[in-house]
Amino acid sequence: MKDLNKKRVAILATNGFEESELREPKKALEEAGAHVDIVSLESGTIKSWTDGNWGKTYTVDKTLDSVSQSDYNALMLPGGVINPDVLRTNKNAVNFVKSFFENNKPVAAICHAPWLLAEADVLKGRKVTSYGSIKTDIMNAGANWVDEEVVVDSGLVTSRSPKDLPAFNKKLVEEVYEGKHEAQMA
């Protein structure tokens, strides 16, 4: 088991995220010793989407306007259809995502979350996967799309759907562990 003690990871999400795609990576990171913040557009709670209906609510730890990539070692983006579609229309969310790439920090995106990566214009020439229905969008953003359980390309971890979570979580923890080392953060 990797020891992520002192590593900080942001999970950027808003209402309509696929619950398992936030819950399971968060649990895997925390079990490996990372500190995880749920970052969202507004304070309070955000509501998950589960099995075609609204699901559990999750407490927002930090608002997007109160954080920077310099606060974190890595970024995780859960999918769901609504969540990334809302976030990709928010300039601050797109810039937050882009800043992790500009600073060579690990980023993980599952299911529909690569929509946000396309909007941030960070997919050109990268090998990635996603939920099948957004394949054309991802390819149009310049990515080499493949239908695989989990893909890692220079610190970017992508997977297709909740059924890929075990492999996704394993690679996410590995990339955070091996990612760019920053000065220790409080």
**Distance between CA 122 and CA 129 in Å, rounded?**
14
Whole-number pLDDT of residue 6: 83
pLDDT in tens, 122-167: 999 999 999 999 999 999 999 999 999 999 999 999 999 999 999 9
Active site residue 35: no
Which residues have C-beta within 8 Å of that of residue 53, sequence separation ≥ 6?
Answer: none
> What is the Cα–Cα distance from 1 to 16, expressed in whole angstroms?
31
Confidence of residue 186 (pLDDT cuts 50, 70, 90): very low
Summarize pLDDT for 29-38 with one digit per residue, the tens: 999 999 999 9
> 156-159 and 150-153 as β-strands: parallel, antiparallel, unpaired?
antiparallel
Determine the pLDDT at residue 81.
94
State the pTM of this model. Answer: 0.94
Any idea how long the chain is? 186
CA separation for the pair 9, 75 (Å, rounded): 6
Over residues 2-26, the mean pLDDT reads 93
Mean pLDDT computed over 14-35: 97
pLDDT band for 184, please (50, 70, 90 cuts). very low
pLDDT at 132: 97
Q: Which of 107, 111, 134, 150 is catalytic?
A: 111
Domains of the chain (ranges plus CATH)?
Answer: 8-178 (3.40.50.880)
Query: Residue 3: is its pLDDT beyond 90?
Result: no
Across the chain, what does the average pLDDT equal?
94
Which amino acid is it at 141?
A
Per-residue pLDDT band for 1 (boundaries 50, 70, 90) equals low
**Distance of CA 86 to CAs 50, 63, 66, 107, 116, Å?**
17, 15, 19, 19, 9
The answer to whether residue 69 scores a pLDDT higher than 90 is yes
| pLDDT, position 142 | 98
* 111 is an active site residue: yes
Residue 179 pLDDT greater than 80, yes or no: no
DSSP the chain: ----TT-EEEEE--TTEEHHHHHHHHHHHHHTT-EEEEEESSSSEEEEEETTEEEEEEE--EEGGG--GGG-SEEEE---SHHHHHHTT-HHHHHHHHHHHHTT--EEEETTTHHHHHHTT--TT-EE---GGGHHHHHHTT-EE---SEEEETTEEEESSGGGHHHHHHHHHHHHHHS-------
**Among 8, 112, 126, 160, which one carries the catalytic annotation?**
112
